[in-house]
Amino acid sequence: MKGRTPGFNYDSKKHIAHFSLYVPKTGGRLRRERTISAASREEAIRLWQNFRDEINGKSSPPAPTPLPAVITFRTFVTALRSVSSSGARRHSSAAHFDPARVALPSLARL
């Protein structure tokens, strides 16, 4: 019985998977079954895990978050300049720092 997953059966020739699980806290009286088509065994196992989580009352894992858009250094400097010149910190030394004046000439020499 090594390598066998209880409640999961996959037919690779027909590309059909059959799931069969007992519903928890029913004393084995309720059973849920589902038959699906899946292109591969890996996809069928992933769908079986989602089915198992659905039966157990767990939510499926959230979709991966998309990567943030990449901004250029010029866009960053422009945004930083608008924030520092907003007047919120008028008397601090950060208000007098101009990143374009300090950082850009140093980067141009590279």
Rounded-to-integer distance, Cα 68 and Cα 48, Å? 32
pTM: predicted TM-score of the whole model, two decimal places: 0.49
Rounded-to-integer distance, Cα 18 and Cα 28, Å? 19
| CB contact set of 77 (below 8 Å; sequence gap of 6+) | 99, 100, 103, 104
Specify the pLDDT at position 75: 80
Average pLDDT on 78-96 reads: 61
Higher pLDDT, 13 or 75: 13
pLDDT tens profile 2-34: 568 888 999 999 999 999 999 888 888 889 999
Closest CA to 97 of 79, 85, 87: 85
Higher pLDDT, 83 or 87: 83
pLDDT grade, residue 110 (50/70/90)? low
Domain boundaries, the chain: 8-56, 73-108
Specify the pLDDT at position 28: 85
Query: Sign (positive/negative) of CA torsion 67, 71, 76, 79?
Result: negative
Choose the most confident range, by mean pLDDT, from 13-22, 58-67, 95-104. Answer: 13-22
